[in-house]
Amino acid sequence: MAIKKFKPRTQTTRHTQLEDRSHLSKQRPLKRFTVGKRARGGRNTAGRITVRHRGGGVKRLLRKIDHRKDKFDIQGVVEVLEYDPNRSAHLALVRYADGERRYVLAARGMTVGSKVISGENVLPVTGNTTQLKNIASGTAVFDVELTKGKGGQLGRSAGTAIQVQGVDPTGRYVQLKMPSGEIRLVHAQCYATIGQVGNEEHMNVKLGKAGRKRRLGIRPTVRGMAMHAEQHPHGGGEGRGVIGRAKDIWGTRIGTKTRRNKRTRKFIIKRRTTKRRRFAKV
């Protein structure tokens, strides 16, 4: 994927960088693979805002994506590459040899006519899906299962690639290195797709103006320093005050770890962040 830049005829176009979607299909998604999506504006079932800065935006249809890829040993051909408004990655419409069609995440380098297949004994080619135990060390994968048969859960956003580091001594698990630097164990029989998620230039997109952000369903964010003292820990004061330790609107220090899942802690070999060592003063 490439990035489109514009001539600086206005202050907006001077900094705008958008995705080049010229290679994507202009047709509507297949109706049987779509379902209506109700916009909740960041509110829960009680009507209270639980996720801030959400609301409005353009209407969307949810695409039914095949993360399980359980059509084993049946070859498929990519018919169309499509845009999905619900995620950063693009989609590929695959037609299998038996005539069935399914949406899958488009891998980097995947084009119309590319062939893909799922199974235990497949070639290590981009877009193919197989078990982790059959993938060589150093290979990049995405759409990785955490539980066998549940479907891919790890590595699904644009440009993501997870590195396989080999089978552990027990032979039951495979070590995976996440983009964050975390190294964790995943069962060797879980399936993963070889390659990297496409649309890798998504991180370089600059929307350029507030209107595009509103159409994505993202509402404005106000700085804490611009608020009154009773509205935010950073607020109040004459002029520009000193923040000190950054806090959120509820007074919790930004960067505080919130992970409480002790059950899966044993599968994490190396955390993405290292603990700070306190050295005694001499």
Q: What is the pLDDT of residues 55-111, one digit of tens each?
A: 999 999 999 999 999 999 999 999 999 999 999 999 999 999 999 999 999 999 999
Instruction: Identify the bridge partners of residue 166 per DSSP, sorted by sequence position.
Output: 175
Residue 273 has pLDDT above 80, yes or no: no
Residue 212: partners with Cβ closer than 8 Å, 6 or more residues away: none
Alpha helices by DSSP H, listed for the chain, are 11-15, 210-215
Give the per-residue pLDDT at 282.
Answer: 43
Distance CA 187, CA 154 (A): 13
pLDDT digits (tens, 9 = 90+) for 163-196: 999 999 888 999 999 999 999 999 999 999 999 9
Instruction: Give the other-Cβ count within 10 Å of 172's Cβ.
Output: 12
> CA angle 3-24-122, nearest 5°?
105
Residue with tokens 């369903």: 217
Region 4-9: mean pLDDT is 94
Region 257-282: mean pLDDT is 76
Distance CA 200, CA 110 (A): 12
User: Could you give the C-alpha distances from 11 to 19, 51, 202, 212, in angstroms and in order?
Assistant: 19, 31, 22, 15
Residue 279 has pLDDT above 60, yes or no: no
Region 120-144: mean pLDDT is 95
Residue with tokens 């700070």: 276
Instruction: Identify the bridge partners of residue 116 per DSSP, sorted by sequence position.
Output: 76
Region 129-136: mean pLDDT is 96
Region 238-244: mean pLDDT is 84
Structure tokens given for 157: 């956003």
Is residue 90 within 8 Å of 80, Cβ to Cβ? no
Distance CA 94, CA 106 (A): 10
Mean pLDDT for all residues in the chain: 93
- How sure is the predictor about 2, in pLDDT bands with cuts at 50, 70 and 90? confident
Give the per-residue pLDDT at 104.
Answer: 97
135, amino acid identity: I
Task: Delineate the domains of the chain, giving CATH numbers in brackets.
Answer: 3-202 (2.40.50.140)
- How sure is the predictor about 280, in pLDDT bands with cuts at 50, 70 and 90? very low
Distance CA 112, CA 117 (A): 15
Rounded to two decimals, the pTM is: 0.89
Residue 278 has pLDDT above 90, yes or no: no
pLDDT digits (tens, 9 = 90+) for 209-221: 999 999 999 999 9
In the chain, the percentage of residues whose pLDDT exceeds 70 is 96
Give the per-residue pLDDT at 1.
Answer: 65
